[in-house]
Chains A and B, each alone.
Chain A
Amino acid sequence: MIRIKTYKPLRPGGKKRKRLALVFLLFLLTTQFLNVYGVQRFPKPEFESGYFQPETLQPAGRAEMLAIMDVFFLVLSLAIVTWLVLKKRSRTGVFWMSLASLAYFGFYRQGCVCSIGAIQNMTLALFDKSYVLPLSAIAFFILPLIVTLFFGRTFCAGVCPFGAMQDLVSFNPQKAGPKLNTVLGLIPYIYLGLAVLYAATGTDFIICRYDPFVGIFRFNASFGMFIFAGALLISGIFIARPYCRFLCPYGVLLNWVSRFSWKHLTITPAQCIQCRLCEDSCPYDAIDMPVTGKNPEIRTATLRKMILICLLIPFFTVLGGWTGSQLHETLAGVNGKVRLSRALLQPAQTTGQPESIEITAFKSSGKPVSQLYAETSLLLKKFYTGGWVLGCFLGLVFGITLAYRMVTTYKTDYTPNKGACFSCARCVDFCPVTLNNNTPKLT
C-alpha cells in the first residue's frame, strides 16, 4: 500500500500511461506478496477420488489447571515444612518432605518454573512493559520470600528440589571455615547482580542457562552442564550444599529476608545449657558460636575502626560502580543484538570466511541497519547504567562484608545464623534439652 502513496501524480492526458502504470503497480504488489508471504505457487488440486484432506493437528500444551496445582503444592509443602521445622522440630519429617519436593518439583515438574529462575521473570516484567508473565512465576517468587520473612528459610530446607538433591549426597560434610565461607559467599551476589542485569536488558536468563540440576531432572544435559552438575554433586559430598551456599542467587534474597524473620528455628526448645553438643552438627557452618570475651575494647581503637568502616563502604561502592561502568561494553557483549551490530560493523572480510547465519538472517529480514544500530546504542546506554548499579551493589556488598568481619558481636548462646541457616533441623536432634524437663543440670 505504501507504493500507491509514493507514486507520482500523472500528467493530464496520459490515460494509456495511467493504465500501464496501474498494471505495473499491480505487478509490483503481487511480487511483493509473493516475496513476503509465499503465495501458493501450485493451487490446491480438486480431487476426484473422494480424497479426504487431513486436518493439521495442533496439540495443546500443559493444562492451566496444572499450573494452579503447582502453586497449590508449593503452598502446601511450604506450610508442612514450616510446621515440621518450627512446631514438630523433626529432622526426619523435613527429610521426607524434601524427598517429596524433589520428586514433584524436580523430577515430575522438571525444575521449571522454579523460585530461583523466577527472579528473572520478575525483573524482566519490571523493566519490559510488553512482557507478560505467568501468574505461577509471581507466586513462586513471592511465596517463599513471605514465608521466610515470617519463619526463616524453610523453603530451602524441604521445598527447593535443588537443595533436596544436594542434601541427599552430603555424606561427609567438612567445615569450610569462616574465611572461605565469606569469600565464596560473595559469589551469589555477583550471580544475582548479573542475572538481574541480563534479565532487565532482555538479554538472557543466565540462571536458567547455567542451571546445573535441571539436566539431572530431565535426564538430559549438554556435556558442559553434565560436568558442572557432576562436580557440584561430588564436591557436595564434602561441602554440603555447594550450590545453595556459594551460587544460589535466590538464596541471597532469602538470606536478607530471613535475618528479619519473625520466628526462626532454634537449636534448643528452651534454654541453652552450653553443652556444645550441637557445635559440629551443622553441615553448613551456620551455627554462631558464643562470643563471650568480655575484655572491653579500647575506645580509641573502636572509634578508629568505626571511622574506617564508614570510609571503606562508600569507597568500595563508588569504586565498584566505576569499574562496572567501565566494563559495560564487555558485559553487553553477551547480548545478541550488540553482537550482531559488532559483526556488521566489522570491516569487509578479507579472509573468505563464510557469512554467519545471523548476518544472513538479518539481511533477509529487511530490517534497516540504522534501526538495529539505534537499538544497540540504546542497549549500550542501558548497560552503562546497569554497570554502575551492578558495580555499586557489589562494592556495597563487599564493603559490608568487610565491616562484618571487623566487628565483634557478643553473645552467650549457640544460635543458628538466621541469614545462613537453611532450617534443615539437623542441629535440633543434637540438643539434650527438652521442653518438659527444662534445663537439666550437667554434672
Chain B
Amino acid sequence: MEEPENNPKFNRRKFFATGLRASFLLGIGGVAALVAKRSIAGGMVWQLDPAKCVQCGRCATNCVMAPSAVKCVHVYAMCGYCDLCGGYFKPETKTLTTAAENQLCPVNAIKRKFVEDPFFEYTIEEPLCIGCGKCVKGCGSFGNGSLQLQVRHNICVNCNHCSIARNCPSDAFSRLPASQPYLLRQVSVENQITAKTPGR
C-alpha cells in the first residue's frame, strides 16, 4: 500500500500534509462557524449598572486610563435641585457655601449654580472627574440618586476584558452592544423596571 517514495508529485509525506492541512482548515472554519452565530458586527462595550453599583471607589483606581474612563453622570431629569445636596456637600457641613472644605468631591469637579430660590443646578465637569463615586454615594443616600457612575465611551479604550470589571465587588460591569452603550437609570418607575428586567 506504500506510495511511491520517489515521486515528487505525490508521496506519503505530502499526502499526510495535505490531509492535515485540510483538517486544520476544517477545524478553524468549524470553530468560527460555531461562534459566528452569536457575533455582533458593531462590537460590544463595557458598562456598569448603577443599580448594582456600591460606590466602592475602585473605578477611580482600576481603570487603565488615568483619570478613569468611569465618570459621574448627572441625570438632570431625576435631580431635585436641592440646596442641601447630598452629592455636593459633606454630611457634617454647617454652611452651604462652595468652600472647598464643604465639598464632597475631592477634585472640585461638581459645579454648583444658583437657578432660583431655593434651587441649585449641579454640573459635572467630566475632564476633572476621577470616577471615585463619593458624590454618587451621597446623592443615593440622601437624595434622588440622579448622580450615577457610567463608563464614558469617548474615553474608554474598550479593553478586551475591562480591568475595573474584574475588580468590581458587586459584579456591576457587563458587556453591552455598542449601539446601546449606556445603562442610566431614568426617573419613571416603569422605565426603572424595564431597566431592571433581565435580558434587557
Contact = CB atoms under 8 A, between A and B. Distances in A.
Interface residues of A, number: 73
B64 A218 contact: yes
Interface stretch (A241-249, A346-354, A359-367, A393-401): A359-367
A131 to B, nearest CB: 7
B8 to A, nearest CB: 14
Given A61-B156, A112-B158, A135-B40, A56 B76 contact: yes
Contact of B24 (A149, A214, A360, A364): A149
Contacts of A37: 51, 185, 189, 192-193, 196
Interface in B70-118: 73-82, 115-116
B181 A40 contact: no
Nearest to A38: B145
Interface string B158-190: 111101001001110001011001101101010
Contact of A120 (B31, B143, B161, B169): B161
A58 B184 contact: yes
B38 A125 contact: yes
A131 B38 contact: yes
Given A112-B158, A204-B166, A260-B24, A58 B182 contact: yes
Contacts of A110: 157
B79 A44 contact: yes
B39 A138 contact: yes
A55 to B, nearest CB: 7
Interface string B46-85: 0000011010101000001110000001111111111000
A59 interface: yes
Given A61-B181, A204-B166, A360-B54, A132 B39 contact: yes
B1 interface: no
Contacts of B43: 62, 64, 67, 134-136
Contacts of B4: none
A189 B160 CA distance: 22
A45 B117 CA distance: 11
A48 interface: yes
Contact of A133 (B38, B78, B159, B166): B38
Nearest to B186: A56
B138 to A, nearest CB: 13
Interface in A44-62: 44-45, 47-49, 51, 53-62
Nearest to A205: B161
B51 to A, nearest CB: 8
5 contacts: A49-B115, A62-B43, A133-B44, A364-B54, A365-B170
Interface of B: 17, 20-21, 24-25, 28, 31-32, 34-36, 38-45, 51-52, 54, 56, 58, 64-66, 73-82, 115-116, 119, 121, 123, 140, 142-145, 152-154, 156-161, 163, 166, 169-171, 175, 177-178, 181-182, 184-185, 187, 189, 192-193, 196
